[in-house]
Amino acid sequence: MSKEINAFYEIDFDQYTRHLNNNIKLEIEGKSKEYILQVDETEFKQYLYNEFALEKLKILDETEKVIPNTRKDFERNPRTGRSFERDVYTFVIKYLFTGTPDLFHYKPNPVTMTTNTIYVDNIQKTVSYNFSMTNRDSDTFKKMKNEGYHNSFVNLNNVNNGVKKWNDNLLNIISAQFDIIKQKYKDENDFFAEINATIDADTKTLFSVPTIEKIVIPLPEVENKKKYNCYPAMSKEMYEDVLKTIYTAGTGMERKPSLYIGKDEEELRDLFLFHLELRYKSVTATGETFNRNGKTDILLKYSEDGSNLFVAECKFWHGPKEFHKAIKQLFENYLTWRDSKTALMFFLKNKGFSEVLTKIKEEIKTNPLYIREGNNHGESSCSYILSLPQDSEKEIYLEMMLFHFDK
């Protein structure tokens, strides 16, 4: 969906980079002390660089597409007072682009005090502007098209200069933030050593240096307990990877409001489906698909025989009552005895994110299907084991994910 904006004129670029700076700090602070003290610094800092580096914008002029439209209009003759009909020709000029889509919003420093209304589609990576004329003169068309192009993209080089400056200094920013937090943890441990504080025996040694695990895309396994009933099931490794993919996509969208502003549940669901569709071999990812007694938002299937592997629902947060209703809808309407890996994704518009997260953790334990808590996968991704309504012996893995889309 295209967003209408004033090209390079909405928010100061310096304000944007301050926001990114703060997000880097939050990303590092979100890691545990053990992680910060153990992780390979070079690899972790490179990971953060890849997360927060910006890509310069480039308009692909060779992809220019002119989309004409003709409409009727009426104009009054000031001398006679009579109205007459005339043709109005509207042209949409559209281009593909590469780079970070959010950059179209930001006012660079220095800035040329010229702008134009443009339409940016972050998914299709297209940018367009339009203009109207009442005569059929090719020279007038070229003049207005060139003026529109100039006014739309005159600040592109200035923004790209800001991007280069940001990227050139990004590793220094990351290192400074990381070093402050790591030193704090080291000083803390030195203090604990001085006062003979007991170290948790379950905590990994603080002197080993692990590496960040590379993403390995697991494949679905086939349970073969009964030769006459081979049924594909999602492996634990794949379930973990699906949850990580969804959580990474959701937290990434939190940092880029232009991806979620104005979108409903269905449009947000499609953004998550986009990340899942091409990730797994022999698996299809679909939305609004019939399963049992209704249409579920996200369904992963084993493509060779159409068996279910993963079921998820997307909801805006509307309080505890609707929370329990969402669980009831998922478990009673969409899950069969064969389904065991599920997720509920809640999108929070208002403030009070921590309060809602706490409420979810309290409310889930009051649900009649609740069995026990599992291992959480993120700060706002909580794992639980629930039973199936039609079979109390059947355990279902349920991930509760909360994303803060507050713009």
d(CA 87, CA 74) in angstroms, rounded, equals 9
How far, in Å, CA of 251 to CA of 243, rounded? 12
pLDDT per position as a tens digit, 363-398: 999 999 999 988 777 888 999 999 988 888 888 899
390 vs 269: CA distance, rounded Å:
28
d(CA 236, CA 385): 14
The overall pTM is greater than 0.85: no
**Distances in Å between the alpha carbon of 170 and those of 24, 46, 165, 264, 319?**
10, 10, 8, 34, 40
Burial of 129 (0-12, 13-18, 19+ CB in 10 A): buried
* Distance (Å, whole) CA 136 – CA 182: 67
pLDDT at 115: 95
- C-alpha–C-alpha distance, residues 405 and 407, integer Å: 6
Amino acid at 132: S
Mean pLDDT estimate for the chain: 83
- 190-227 pLDDT, tens digit per residue, is 776 666 544 444 443 333 333 334 344 444 444 443 33
- What does residue 357 show for φ and ψ, rounded to 5 degrees? -60, -45
